[in-house]
Amino acid sequence: MKLKFWKKAQKIQYNQKSDFYIRILKWAAKQDNFTIQKLYRELKITSVYIKSWIDKEIEKEKLFINVGYKKFKGGKMYPIYKLSFDARFKLLEFEELSFARANAKEARAWAIRAVTIAIISLFLLITLSLVDYFSVQNVKLHDTNVISVTDTMLGE
């Protein structure tokens, strides 16, 4: 029981982190430069887990690049960041993948429709062929018709 709960908690944390990761990338791509405090404030990040993850990513310089410092009220200096090239590329890959998935779903739906139409057409063709094969057509020939056909064939 505890193991299931632990796995579920890890999965939730992973999903939460990946969701925030995409949100952060999208937000940061729109900004020229920003402080971490502005990021936390505008994206309403309050989770200690997410904040510590962001801090670790900043230390690795995978998410943001430090482009300088800015002095704010009270004389305190805050680092200014920009989205890194790797992070911008990952965002572009994510958007392309999302677009490809949407197109794949639409293509799959059209393929299912086409196969369904083909199967219905096949059954309709088989049914009509069987009906034609087993239907009896009574043709009545009169003596005059037989004689005229025979004369025509003989060339008289």
For the chain, what are the domain ranges? 2-83, 111-154
Dihedral-angle region of residue 75 (phi above 0 means left; psi in -120 to 50 means alpha; beta otherwise)? left
List the structure tokens of 87: 């992070």
CB 94 within 8 Å of CB 25? yes
Q: List pLDDT tens digits, range 77-89.
A: 888 888 888 888 8
- The yes-or-no verdict on residue 9 having pLDDT over 70 is no
Number of other CB atoms surrounding residue 115 within 10 Å = 10
In contact, 82 and 33? CB cutoff 8 Å: yes
Place of tokens 């925030």: 20
Question: Which ranges of the chain would DSSP assign to H, the alpha helix?
Answer: 2-30, 36-42, 48-60, 85-134, 143-154
Q: Across-strand partners of 81?
A: 34, 66
Percent of the chain with pLDDT over 70: 75
23 confidence band (pLDDT: 50, 70, 90): confident
Write down the pLDDT at residue 154.
62
In the chain, what is the straight-line distance between the N-terminal and C-terminal CA atoms, in Å? Answer: 101
At 119, the pLDDT band (50, 70, 90 cuts) reads very high
CATH says 2-83 is which class?
mainly alpha
Q: Which residue has the higher pLDDT, 52 or 96?
A: 96
For residue 63, the 8-state DSSP code is S
